[in-house]
């Protein structure tokens, strides 16, 4: 069923509000060649309308020859973030990441690259809707983890 741009923008605003996005925070939208154009444009508009400073990080596809289907989620292993220190730094510097690749929610190397170790006290990825707010001059997530703990 088709969804109107208006409805999708409202849905993104609700997600961003629930994520405690604040005006002036940095949002990075993680995309690839297969990101749906309507999802992307509506996410960008919603974040911008809420006063965020929005960036887009578009990563190229890799390992196409190893995929077991055309589904982007059908391959586990090396990801576009594996060894991509510049991309990882951009994500870590963000207050919120909108992962339109569903890359950060895998149990693979991308998530481990961001959090360091899955069993850490701050096992939340930037893409898990953990927006950060200012608390006494420090950047903290809602669960009390500092950004440096990612």
For the record, the structure tokens of 16 come out as: 């961003």
Question: What mean pLDDT comes out for the span 132-150?
Answer: 37
Positive or negative torsion for Cα 143, 102, 148, 25: negative
The span from the CA of 52 to the CA of 54, in Å, is: 6
**Sorting pLDDT into bands at 50, 70 and 90, what band is 67?**
low
Render pLDDT for 92-139 as a digit per residue (tens, 0 to 9). Answer: 999 999 999 887 765 554 455 555 433 322 333 333 333 333 323 334
Q: Whole-model pTM above 0.85?
A: no
97 to 65, 69, 137, 140: CA distances (angstroms): 28, 27, 21, 15
At residue 70, the pLDDT reads: 65
Q: Is the pLDDT of residue 53 over 80?
A: yes
CATH class of the domain whose range is 5-149:
alpha beta
For the chain, percent of residues with pLDDT exceeding 70 = 61
At residue 91, the pLDDT reads: 95
């Amino acid at each position: 069923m088709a969804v109107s741009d208006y409805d999708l923008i409202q849905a993104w605003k609700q997600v961003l509000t629930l994520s405690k996005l604040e005006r002036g925070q940095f949002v990075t939208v993680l995309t690839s060649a297969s990101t749906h154009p309507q999802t992307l444009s509506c996410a960008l508009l919603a974040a911008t309308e809420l006063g965020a400073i929005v960036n887009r990080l578009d990563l190229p596809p890799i390992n196409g020859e190893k995929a077991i289907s055309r589904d982007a989620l059908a391959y586990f292993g090396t990801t576009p973030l594996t060894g991509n220190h510049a991309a990882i730094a951009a994500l870590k510097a963000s207050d919120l990441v909108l992962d339109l690749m569903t890359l950060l929610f895998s149990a693979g190397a991308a998530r481990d690259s961001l959090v360091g170790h899955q069993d850490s006290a701050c096992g939340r990825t930037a893409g898990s809707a953990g927006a950060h707010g200012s608390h006494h001059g420090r950047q903290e997530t809602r669960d009390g983890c500092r950004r440096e703990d990612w």
